[in-house]
């Protein structure tokens, strides 16, 4: 399915780019150095309506398309990946599970502040002993009935690498937990909304990460965390399936983030190669440099085509195996292309590329996680192979 961005999409792109270049770019190097999560800027993003792009108007959203969300993520990611992932996770992993699977009461309780960007929500799937094999989750939730007739979920366990999970404006984290055992012996996994601040729910100290220094990322621990029975998200026993469906959308959004990174590298290299001179001429006049930058342009255009093709499928209501395949292909190509792009950009900048004063150094650190989050490159290859009908295990 070919994609075509409308004039409205391009106008929206320019508005997000203006915000990113005016409000984020001048401050991002210091934020990165300080590992500072800029809550005021996140709220500005909310005021611009970025968290509510795809949300219904009844919850304060714009009821817009998925393509517009990808455009916003790309443009933020072009300036800084941490800010881009804050939006991506806030919508794809925070808002969407509640919007898609929540009851009307849950939507009314959580969505207005999340859509407004005044609060953030996390998505707790990965565990210390269960990464790509998410079905190996050991976090447990037991339904405890009181004498008065009420019932509460009692949650024990841990999650790791959870974005938007421990900031001052985090409102809740949706987690997967074992809620029983099926007749065939496999675990019954359900999704439960845990409000931040619930006794026993602890966001541990933030990670000391290679990249994404501005992003809010924590390990979480749950010790006899009690929430009422109505905090179950969706149907009991369907939590794992719900989260897998959530990840399909998230993979396209991560692809948009990766495209932003490639474009950021391309923009920086074009400018630098036109200004930096050696032997009396700009380095961009040398084929050895110019050809590398040309490769960046190819990666950006190819990645953008794959990403927005998948987004167009989402907007057209194309689901199932076709969308899953497109999402995995877009995520695999763009994430690996982004890693290559940062290597090329750092090489073009030479010694300066190794210095934190230039954005390509930050891009280099930020890129690697794109091949890991939302399903590793190995997982994407496995899914793509299965989509081709291969009996890969």
Closest CA to 243 of 372, 119, 126: 126
Whole-angstrom Cα distance, residue 292 to residue 350? 13
- Give me 365's structure tokens: 């650190």
Closest CA to 225 of 138, 145, 158, 131: 158
Residues 154 and 224 sit within 8 Å (Cβ to Cβ): yes
Closest CA to 373 of 335, 327, 321: 335
Place of tokens 């009844």: 58
Place of tokens 């934020």: 31
Asked about 374 being catalytic, the answer comes back as: yes
Total length of the chain: 393
Half-sphere exposure of 321 (CA within 13 A, CB side): 6
Whole-angstrom Cα distance, residue 77 to residue 87? 10
Q: Which residues on neighbouring strands pair with residue 152, listed in sequence order?
A: 144, 228
Whole-angstrom Cα distance, residue 114 to residue 121? 7
H or E stretch at 163: strand 151-163
Closest CA to 165 of 89, 103, 231, 232: 89
- Give me 370's structure tokens: 């794109």
Closest CA to 388 of 319, 330, 328: 328
Ramachandran class of 151: left when φ > 0, alpha when ψ lies in -120 to 50, beta otherwise: beta
- Give me 349's structure tokens: 């900048």
Residues 15 and 68 sit within 8 Å (Cβ to Cβ): no
Catalytic residue among 75, 88, 371, 374: 374
| Neighbour-count burial of 18, counting CB atoms closer than 10 A to its CB (0-12 exposed, 13-18 middle, 19+ buried) | exposed
Q: How far is CA 225 from the centre of its chain?
A: 26
Q: Any idea which residues carry the catalytic annotation?
A: 374
């Amino acid at each position: 399915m070919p994609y075509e961005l409308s004039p409205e999409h391009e106008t929206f792109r320019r508005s997000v780019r203006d915000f990113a270049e005016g409000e984020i770019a001048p401050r991002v190097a210091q934020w990165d150095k300080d590992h500072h999560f800029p809550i005021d800027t996140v709220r500005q993003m909310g005021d611009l309506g970025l968290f509510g792009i795809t949300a219904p108007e009844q919850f304060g959203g714009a009821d817009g398309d998925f393509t517009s969300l990808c455009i916003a993520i790309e443009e933020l990611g072009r300036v800084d990946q941490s800010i881009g992932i804050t939006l991506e996770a806030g919508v794809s992993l925070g808002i969407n599970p509640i919007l898609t699977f929540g009851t009307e009461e849950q939507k009314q309780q959580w969505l207005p502040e999340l859509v407004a960007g005044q609060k953030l929500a996390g998505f707790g799937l990965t565990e210390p002993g269960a990464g790509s094999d998410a079905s190996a989750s050991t976090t447990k939730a037991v339904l405890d009935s009181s004498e008065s007739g009420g019932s509460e979920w009692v949650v024990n366990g841990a999650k790791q690498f959870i974005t938007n999970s421990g900031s001052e404006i985090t409102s809740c984290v949706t987690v997967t937990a074992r809620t029983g055992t099926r007749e065939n012996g496999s675990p019954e996994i359900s999704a439960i909304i845990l409000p931040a601040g619930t006794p026993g729910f602890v966001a541990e100290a933030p990670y000391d990460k290679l990249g994404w220094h501005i992003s809010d990322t924590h390990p979480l621990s749950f010790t006899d965390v009690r929430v009422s029975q109505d905090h179950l998200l969706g149907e009991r026993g369907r939590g794992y399936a719900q989260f897998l469906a959530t990840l399909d959308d998230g993979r396209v959004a991560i692809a948009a983030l990766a495209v932003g990174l490639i474009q950021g590298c391309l923009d920086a290299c074009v400018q630098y190669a036109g200004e930096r001179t050696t032997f009396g001429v700009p380095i961009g006049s040398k084929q050895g440099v110019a050809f590398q930058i040309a490769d960046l342009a190819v990666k950006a255009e190819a990645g953008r085509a794959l990403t927005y093709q998948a987004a167009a499928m989402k907007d057209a209501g194309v689901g199932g195996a076709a969308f899953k395949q497109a999402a995995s292909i877009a995520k695999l190509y763009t994430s690996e292309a982004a890693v290559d792009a940062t290597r090329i950009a750092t090489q073009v900048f030479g010694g300066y590329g190794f210095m934190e004063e230039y954005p390509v150094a930050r891009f280099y650190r930020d890129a690697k996680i794109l091949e890991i989050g939302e399903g590793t490159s190995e997982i994407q290859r496995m899914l793509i192979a299965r989509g081709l009908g291969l009996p890969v295990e």
